[in-house]
Chains A and B, each alone.
Chain A
């Protein structure tokens, strides 16, 4: 029997397989990678009865146009996404996020675009068949590691499914992607490298997200952050969420695919609870940073985690 797959009729801008990411490989130069918006990724997997670490197709802005071949499957799209299902008989159905749909042989999913957000997820029952490196099939394009030879998908390629399904399932949830204006941060290890005025600006003025933003990081424009000690430090490890300030004074926030080592001073670190919402902000949006203490950040993460669990428990 032929293995079921999606044929890519249009790849979209940045479509890759992602799971929970790759652990314990920073020291060889590999970052976590993995789904950028972890909550939406988890909701997708739970809606189609998958384990939490099942690979999903992540897309950004314009998504792919996919045709199912040699199988049938229950699928769902999570995020804030405009899409439609084009049936084999050419009938078009409007897509609804967070509600599973069933696909038969020759049906197509046209993921038109994300709405005022960046990332969306296509999850299928039993998952996609990925290539595993260090326990994860997440694509890291920079080091050519992960599924599809570590590359984003292109035209006419195939994405194989683990299993063609005979038992469709039907689940949904009401979920609203709220926007975030204040990004809460902890002081970075080089906070005192910056002038008093810049420290104040950093926590009071607006910053605009620029187009130089991708899975590796987010570049901001705003008041220049002035360094009064040294614009370079001896290179050291980075983590996602770190806000580095290069000599030009424009902050860069490290995202999931970041370089593992960096030599720019760190003014702050975004708290774990705000990461999912931060990555969904599109170029042109403005943000403000809010300074908080470590114990608050830990409590906010607890709350974020509880909220995720409650959401997953509400899936019916």
Chain B
């Protein structure tokens, strides 16, 4: 499972699960994450799961690297939490004003915009991780036909709710933010709700996500 543990600075552990990005490796990362969340080891101040890494920061006043490393190595794999999974439906409006990059994608890929959107909406996505900005989900995998790199010059402001794709991944801009992903639509729903402090995220690592199309008037009249 964990291939190697090293230090990231003097107050964090860097757990490496390998270099590949796939559901199997990511599910292992999430299992460790959930298990650590449940069985609190004193001194841990943050745990960040990502595609294939788990970073554990700690309070240097309470624990040191070597000590925590041996604690982590003691975790029994058989006792790791099984993942709870949820299916989340996300409405998306692909009206012209929200599709900032669909035309560009169409030219670069040599595909009709309708084909691009069709293959985007056809897939079920897996949530590998959340973060960068609050609640932003990193989803995969995008159909090989519509994979493209990010913009060469990132936008200074990507509108809140934007749905972006880049390479094998899709994401949702939960807040207005700078960013370089190819924007193909916008969702009216709140992905991060700070007033729900127990569960502020609509999409959590391990969940599956299905996007579905809504009209402009449904978008404008959306009521959660």
Q: Which residue numbers of A lie inside 8 Å of B, CB to CB?
A: 23-30, 32, 133-134, 142-145, 150, 186, 188-189, 234-239, 241-242, 259-262, 266, 269-272, 294, 297-298, 301, 305
Besides A29-B174, A142-B134, 16 new A-B residue pairs in contact (Cβ under 8 A), listed by A number? A26-B57, A28-B131, A28-B134, A28-B135, A143-B133, A186-B9, A188-B8, A234-B21, A236-B51, A238-B48, A239-B8, A241-B9, A242-B8, A261-B132, A294-B65, A298-B65
Q: Is the Cβ of A145 less than 8 Å from the Cβ of B6?
A: no
**Closest B-chain residue to A237, C-beta based?**
B48
When A and B form their complex, which 3 residue pairs have the shortest distance between CB atoms, in order from nearest? A237-B48, A269-B9, A237-B55
Interface residues on B, range: 35 or more
How many angstroms between the C-alpha atoms of A237 and B29 in the bound complex? Answer: 12
With A23-B45, A27-B130 as given contacts, are A298 and B64 in contact (CB-CB < 8 Å)? yes
Report the Cα distance A177→B110, complex, angstroms.
61
Give the CA-CA distance A32 to B58 in the complex, in Å.
12
Which chain A residues border B51 with CB–CB below 8 Å? 234-236
Tell me if B7 and A260 are in contact (CB < 8 A): no
In the complex, 5 of the A-B residue pairs with CB atoms within 8 angstroms, ordered by the A residue number, are A29-B130, A186-B10, A235-B51, A235-B138, A269-B8
Which residue of the partner chain A has the closest CB to B133? A29
Assess whether B114 is interfacial by the CB under 8 Å rule.
no
Which chain A positions have C-beta within 8 A of B135? 28-29, 143
CA distance A32 to B19 in the complex (A): 27
The one of B46, B52, B138, B175 in contact with A142, judged by C-beta atoms closer than 8 angstroms, is: B175
B47-69 residues at the A interface, CB under 8 angstroms: 47-55, 57, 60-61, 64-65
Alpha-carbon distance between A262 and B57 when the two chains are bound, in angstroms: 16
Residues of B25-42 at the interface with A, using a CB-CB cut-off of 8 Å, are 33
